[in-house]
Amino acid sequence: MFFWRKFICKKSAFASQYDAVFIVQDNINDSVPAKYTTFCKESEIPFFFINMEHSSEDLTYAMGFLYKDDSFNSWGYGLYKNIENEANIKIVYSQIFGTIYQNTLPKK
């Protein structure tokens, strides 16, 4: 179970220590509560939701969001041929880590 209150209390501490936040289906019972949207916006690090429940027509395995410098970015990652196996999941995580790397580089 994912406890937003605990997470919110530590916001200032984690913002400078972490490059991203991963939230997986096993750790949250509902979608992100609307009242925490501000928290996500102020964090300036990406949030990735992994294997969340979605419609059978949606082939997205993971979604990422980042609010930074008054702009909003989002990413979707699908499994190869929509087959959930270890190899395809590793590919998705590799793509996510690439996205994190690209978005945490210092600006010139």
Could you give the CA distance from residue 21 to residue 49 in angstroms, rounded to a whole number?
Answer: 9
Could you give the CA distance from residue 18 to residue 39 in angstroms, rounded to a whole number?
Answer: 15
Would you say 75 and 99 are in contact if contact means Cβ atoms under 8 Å apart? yes
- The stretches in the chain having pLDDT less than 50 are 1-5, 9
Instruction: Write down the pLDDT at residue 11.
Output: 52
Query: Could you give the residue ranges of the DSSP H alpha helices within 18-85?
Result: 37-43
Instruction: Write down the pLDDT at residue 103.
Output: 86
Instruction: Write down the pLDDT at residue 52.
Output: 74
